[in-house]
Chain A
């Protein structure tokens, strides 16, 4: 069982610069055909300062920290047992390549179902820009399968 005292566990804030090359590779990885996601001229023509960060890439940026699974160890989550249960985003604006974004994460709930066979850990992330303004939030719920 994951110790419920980890509700409230906060990951140290970390800041990452959005890189154009990574956005181009991500566009390729998801089969993106809209040029504004990989061609800077098309992005500018669409009104963006540079390549826009696609809707789910914020989740990927959060994994750019040196060990994105370090908090699993701290909270007592075994990676081989983990599945992604739910994911949600709220957006305040669309960030672009070249921006530095800061992520702050906190475990907001831990609970179990099926008599403890499935445990759930819910983590909230807030994302701010260099001025400290809110860019987005996301929530992930992970499932830990026991048996």
Chain B
């Protein structure tokens, strides 16, 4: 991985995208155990239906983890100063999530050179599931 330098990045530059395999029930079962988030709405269809949903839904934090992978494949994690997202739509079984992002702003704060990047996750139809930002410290 070659880390981009602050001077090399322009506002608008895209960061490398990342596409995941379609989400299966197995994906959610493994994430349930691995994350420790045992909210039954993600793995128990009876619970999901009782909650008024047609089926189980993916953990929002699974989608945010995909966004995190997209960022850490671009720059090493210790450069991340902040990472935030809004969950905008439910992610369903069969959805294949692609994460994309771009440089929004270049700034300096506390003696560090930073880029503010957009990062969002959309499904195979282009519906945006989560959209957020990250603040990344770079070498000059």
A contact residues vs B (CB 8 Å cutoff)? 22, 25-26, 28-32, 34, 46, 52, 54-57, 59-61, 63-64, 68-69, 79-91, 93-94
Task: Say if the beta carbon of B51 comes within 8 Å of chain A.
Answer: yes
Chain A residues in 8 Å Cβ range of B68: 30, 54-56
B37 contacts A30, CB within 8 Å? no
Q: Which residues of B contact A56 (CB under 8 A)?
A: 61, 64-65, 68, 83
Chain B residues with CB below 8 A from A93, complex form? 78
Assess whether B60 is in contact with A29, with CB atoms less than 8 Å apart: no
Question: In the docked arrangement, what's the CA distance between A100 and B37, Å?
Answer: 20
| Chain B residues engaging chain A, CB cutoff 8 angstroms | 20-21, 27, 30-31, 33-37, 39, 41, 47, 50-51, 59-62, 64-66, 68-69, 71-73, 76-78, 80-87, 90, 132
A-chain residues with CB within 8 Å of residue B39 when the two chains form the complex: 69, 79, 82
Across chains A and B, the number of contacting residue pairs, with CB separation under 8 Å, is 113
Given the complex of chains A and B, what is the CA–CA distance between A87 and B82 in angstroms?
A: 11
Q: Which residues of B contact A25 (CB under 8 A)?
A: 30, 33-34
CB distance from A69 to the nearest CB of B (A): 8
